[in-house]
């Protein structure tokens, strides 16, 4: 398997109270085609910063060093045109709280239509067909009846399904899911995880799954990277990490989980 994403010695600093603070301190990992990699670690360990760096979505970072290659194209310091193309066609994101990513004033149809028009040039009937198809694929039942719904009229789980539909609209090669189930009830979490695992197979995507929940990692990931204080302290196949954790921090996480 060849890597579709290759991260090497990534370092990200922010300016805080006049001083530079390093949030990510030399992180390296690969994601192979079709693979699910979990980035796990406690809050503040640098998971989101690492994820956002992959497509330069860290507007206010003071310094970004190292290399992030998406299919052999360097993303760090890349031109806006390339970054927009990769964000539009290749790498999609879903985040923890769908309410902040959906426009509260737009119906489902409009949210999806905008994305399809922008990235795929799809409008009118073709766009509507594609929207219904996407909503069906993410498990929204009777999608025709939901097209006119506003985000606040949906449950949290349905909103996350819509976010996933929007992420799929581009036909991405890599889906980055940053704590996508953290804000959801446990039963809904399980449904969303099941959906993501299913979509990963049917859509032939790779998945970078970010979570602080080891139970999720065990179910979904092929490989795990454990982050602590901006560094990956341990990485390996999921079964190996769970059976034989080497780093004291991983051992502590596992002990806390069981």
- Rule CB under 6 A: which residues touch ligand ADP? 14, 16, 23, 41, 43-49, 60
Question: For residues 12-41, which are near Mg ion according to CB under 5 A?
Answer: none
Identify which range of 1-9, 43-51, 152-160, 196-204 contacts Mg ion by CB under 5 A.
43-51
For ligand ADP, the closer CB: 47 or 159: 47
Complex with Mg ion: residue 14 or 150, whichever CB lies closer: 14
- By beta-carbon proximity to Mg ion, the closer residue of 93 and 249 is 93
- Chain mean position to CA 240: 24
Burial class (CB in 10 A: 0-12, 13-18, 19+), 14: middle
Find which of ligand ADP, Mg ion, none residue 44 binds, CB within 5 to 8 Å per kind.
ligand ADP
- Supply φ then ψ for residue 78, to 5 degrees: -70, 155
Least distance in angstroms from the C-beta of 47 to ligand ADP: 3
> Which ranges in 61-172 belong to alpha helices (H)?
80-89, 98-101, 108-120, 124-137, 143-146, 156-168
- Would the CA dihedral through 20, 92, 38, 100 be positive or negative? positive
Instruction: Report if residue 181 touches Mg ion, rule: CB under 5 A.
Output: no
| Under 8 Å between Cβ of 221 and 238 | yes
Least distance between ligand ADP and beta carbon 36 (Å) = 18
Residues lying near Mg ion in the complex (CB under 5 A):
47-48
């Amino acid at each position: 398997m060849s890597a579709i994403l290759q991260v090497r010695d990534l370092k990200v600093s922010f300016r805080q109270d006049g001083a530079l603070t390093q949030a990510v301190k030399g992180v390296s990992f690969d994601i192979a085609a079709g693979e699910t990699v979990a980035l796990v670690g406690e809050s503040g360990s640098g998971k989101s910063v690492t994820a956002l760096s992959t497509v330069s979505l860290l507007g206010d970072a003071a310094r970004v060093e190292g290399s992030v290659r998406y299919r052999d194209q360097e993303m760090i310091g890349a031109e806006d045109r390339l970054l927009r193309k990769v964000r539009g066609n290749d790498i999609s994101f879903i985040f923890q709280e769908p309410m902040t990513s959906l426009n509260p004033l737009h119906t489902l149809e409009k949210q999806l239509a905008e994305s399809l028009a922008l990235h795929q040039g799809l409008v009118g009937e073709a766009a509507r067909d594609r929207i219904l198809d996407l909503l069906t694929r993410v498990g929204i039942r009777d999608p025709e009846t939901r097209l006119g719904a506003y985000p606040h009229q949906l449950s949290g789980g349905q909103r996350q399904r819509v976010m996933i539909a929007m992420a799929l609209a581009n036909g991405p090669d890599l889906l980055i899911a940053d704590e996508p189930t953290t804000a959801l009830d446990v039963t809904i979490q399980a449904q969303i995880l099941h959906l993501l695992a299913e979509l990963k197979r049917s859509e032939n995507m790779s998945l970078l799954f970010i979570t602080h929940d080891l139970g999720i990692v065990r179910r979904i990931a092929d490989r795990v990277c454990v982050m602590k204080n901006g560094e990956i302290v341990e990485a390996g196949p999921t079964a190996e990490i769970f059976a034989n954790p080497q780093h004291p921090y991983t051992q502590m996480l596992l002990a806390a989980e069981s």
